[in-house]
Amino acid sequence: MAGRVKAIRATVSMKIALSEPLLALVNNYVKAIRFSLFWLKENVRNPEEKGVLGKVHEELYTKLREEYDLPSKVAEDCYRDALATYKGWYNNPRRGRFPRVYKPTLWLTPKASYSVDFETRSVKIAGVGELPILGYPRNLRDYMIWRMKEARLVVRNDKLSSRSFLRDRKTRQNLNQALLLISI
């Protein structure tokens, strides 16, 4: 079997209980990402050049922490999210209008800004605390040994949903061999 060997990825959607500190964090995050996007538009001519992330960190990190009251890792996630959005707009040949952020979403990285405990069915978010998981897929046990990647929290209709991205240690090549062995 020839081909590239890649890790298997999966997305798990969960419903999480809302809390006032979490809603405040999400609102501050949206305001901070708007500010970061406009700061990038004014101060970064080419986001592809070397050293942009360091420059953005120097300028925005303390401002996001102090003015928008974001925890340290969430502030880093915020300007990285803004930089990714800005690069997507900048690299589009037909650019269109400058991106605006309206949806109350929150981008989190594992261990530093969030962690999921599948045993107690809870999510711990930096600056908010521990929140219970209200809804999860039936096959959640299959993903308990997978490694957590980033997560996106989305607030819709007074409900909070989380999309957690997971990566397995198995590779696609090993999975294909296992499927082939099973099918014989």
Task: Please indicate, yes or no, if residue 99 is contained in any of the structural domains.
Answer: no
Identify the domain containing residue 31 by its residue range: 23-90
Sign of torsion over alpha carbons 12, 13, 15, 20: positive
Residues in Cβ contact with 50 at an 8 Å cutoff, skipping those fewer than 6 apart: none
Within a domain: residue 149? Answer: yes
In a domain? residue 1:
no
How many domains does one find in the chain? 2
Residue 124 lies in a domain: yes
- Asked if 82 and 117 sit in the same domain, the reply is no
- 179: pLDDT strictly greater than 60: no
Tokens of 163: 């999309």
- 86 and 126 in a single domain? The answer is no
Domain boundary among 90, 118, 146: 90
The confidence score (pLDDT) of residue 184 equals 44
- Whether residues 69 and 114 share a domain: the answer is no
What pTM, to 2 d.p., does this model score?
0.83
| Same domain for 37 and 11 | no
pLDDT surpasses 50 at 182: no
> What pLDDT is stored for residue 176 in this prediction?
53
